[in-house]
Structure 1
Amino acid sequence: MTLAIDSPEVFGPDTTSGHQLLPLPVTRLRAAKPAYTTRHVDLAAATQLLTGVEPHVGGFVLATVSEVGHHTKIELPDGRRASLFPGDEVVVAYGHRYAPDQFEAIMPSDLGACELVAAGGVAARVLSAHGRMRPATSLQPVGLLTDSAGRRMGLHLGVPAGVAPPRPEDRPLTIAVVGASMNAGKTTTAAYLARGLRGAGLQVGAAKTTGTGAGGDVWQLTDAGAYPVYDFTLSGLPSTYQASA
């Protein structure tokens, strides 16, 4: 079983039997490398680490890099890719991933050893991998990030307040770009559409609605002139694999 984003354990202090809260010194938090998936949440609010519990989708975990594998770098919130070394501590989000050219991985049900399955910062346990892949970078979770009240921190904290949908007559033209697999050219097509429409004098926004949390597509659409550019991490999801409708 995987805890849902709206589970009571996510929004209130944890009451799980056997759980433990440990102090998280600010110096330790600042020394850790935060991933792209954490960019919408103020990590400075994290003051404790929660152990002995089941993680939830989108929950932030402080983890130690045990061994560097396929992902030799982690994408930071600003898009820079920081090199990883054994012993580094990172802040990433728990989630699932399905990428035919890389890994299929699922949420673990405990805080045991797992893998970094996306450079944007997704922690999971690998089920299978493409034949050309090196073993995934291995992680040893230390604990889930919580605030001073013991409330779990994660992507759910970055979800914006509800916005009323526009009236039908005010809705902008929407063009959907779809493809059957990764690396099919979806983002490239969307970027050139955005560039062309901007060149025609139109205001263009973009949204990446499926995939795994990483900045490459967001940055490419931004570079093409789209603004604003959103992705599904703003809905509290580190990836859309196994996400409920």
Structure 2
Amino acid sequence: MSNGQTETNLISNAKWAFTTRRVDRQDCTRLTTDFAAANPGDLVLCEVQRIGSHKRVQLNVGRYSQLYPGDTVVLACGARYAPDQYEGIAVIDESGSDMLAGGGVIGTMRKSNHRMSGPTKVKPLGVISRSNGAPVNIADYAMANMVLPINLTIVGAVGSSMNGGKTTAVASFAHGLSKAGHKVSAIKVTGTGSFGDYNAYLDTASHFVADFVEAGMVSTYQLPVSQIISGMNSLLGHASAAGCDVAVIEFADGIFQAETAALLKSPEVRQILDGVIFAAPCAASVVGGCEALRSMGIEPSIVTGKVSASPMAVEEAEKAAAVSIATKEELLSAESARGLLEFIRNSNRDQVLTA
């Protein structure tokens, strides 16, 4: 790979993951091998060695591509926190690294859910660089920085755990509000780069859709909270500039996840939230989650999630947690969504977020 043209061909002929979607490929001309110096967001050309749990990669064009041993892929160096799958760090092992997420993240796995068969193994071929040798990082292609707007109603969505129903709640509420005539932005502010949630938001007819990748982060795990808040505020600024009057923003994983917990406790985040959606899979998690949120000084405005699919679980949760459970159908209804938004807007903020 000493010949520049050969390196360019290797880079251009690879499968480019969804996390790289904003990168200008014309900037990607060289490969360097200082893997120890790779930072979160740096692009890495890899060769698939062994297929594991991730048998497909999410392409930058928004579809899946089957992976085969010998395939070359462009991934972004990053960490991941996913209790249902893997926990990994943004460290590249040149002898063989791990594909931590199907959206296109390379790093080193530290912990795995026992139901997983192990990560897909990839061999780093080189850190993708510019002609001057500087690594290409997705942060170089972030949306322009914007200031936090003051004319948006902002509703945060959190959950008891991964796969508790947060994304369905955000998508359903965004769709219901869109049908009610609002210009809605649906934004994922933390997590690991993937097109699953992003595409779910696109399908809702939301006026503006974005995630943290647009703010220059391949993953928010182990990043400074100040950086995450800055990216969140910038995306909200873009939503406002696009003409939105409502933003529904999703925080990944559960309320005890390090970054999510820190954000919920941050005065900078609390001062912009007009309401909070809490999603949970069962009655017990509703009760425990509501107690945890209330201990933080947060009273959920809307409680929903997988629990809402069971009338019996709803009865248990409403009685034990002293809340009302909103079903997916209610969130999807224009009339009901409009009413829930009015409830949030008319509520005294001190009733939702206290010191």
Q: TM-score normalized by structure 1?
A: 0.86
- SS of the aligned residue for 1:63 comes to strand
> C-alpha separation between the residues in 2 aligned to 1:87 and 1:218?
29
Structure 1 residue 175: deviation in Å? 1.2
> Deviations along 1:138-193, whole A, 9 cap, x unmatched?
01001111111111101111112222333x3xx21111111132101111000110
Q: Segments of 4+ in structure 1 off by > 4 A? A: none
CA separation in 1, counterparts of 2:214 and 2:158? 20
Q: Flag structure 2 segments of 5+ consecutive residues without an equivalent.
A: 226-355
In structure 1, distance between residues paired with 2:92 and 2:73: 20
- Any residues of structure 2 matched to 1:1-245 within 5 Å, and which? 23=4, 24-53=6-35, 54-108=37-91, 110-166=93-149, 168=150, 171-245=151-225
Shift of 1:110: 4.9
Contact 2:75 2:104 in 1 (8 A): yes
Maintained 8 Å contact 1:21/1:51: no
Q: Match of 2:99, SS? A: strand
How many angstroms apart in 2 are the aligned matches of 1:126 and 1:59?
18
Q: Distance in 1 between matches of 2:16 and 2:168?
A: 27
Residues 71-107 of structure 1 show CA distances to partners (whole Å, capped at 9, x for unaligned) of: 0000001211000000000000001101000001112
Structure 2 Cα separation of the partners of residues 21 and 106 of structure 1 = 30
Point out the structure with the larger helix share. 2
Say whether the 8 Å CA contact 1:38–1:92 is kept in structure 2. Answer: yes
SS at match of 1:64: strand
Question: Secondary structure of 1:205's partner?
Answer: strand
Question: How much has 1:32 moved relative to structure 2?
Answer: 0.3
Separation (CA, whole Å) in 2 of partners of 1:109 and 1:90: 15
Query: SS in structure 2 opposite 1:176?
Result: strand
Paired residue secondary structure (2:135): coil
Percent pairwise identity: 37
- Computed over aligned residues only, the root mean square deviation of the Cα atoms, in angstroms, reads 1.6
Distance across 1 between alignment mates of 2:217 and 2:135: 15
Q: Which has the larger radius of gyration?
A: 2
Aligned length: 223
How far apart, in 2, do the equivalents of 1:237 and 1:76 lie? 17
- Which moves more between the two structures, 212-221 or 45-54? 45-54
What TM-score does the superposition give when structure 2 sets the normalisation length? 0.60
Give 2:186's aligned amino acid: A
Q: CA deviation at 1:129?
A: 0.6
For CA contacts below 8 A with separation 6 or more, give which structure has more relative contact order. 1
Asked whether the 8 Å contact 1:22–1:49 carries over to 2, the reply is no
The 1-side partners of 2:123 and 2:8 are apart by 20
Provide the secondary structure at the position in 2 that maps to 1:116: strand
Aligned-partner Cα distance in 2 for 1:83–1:113: 20
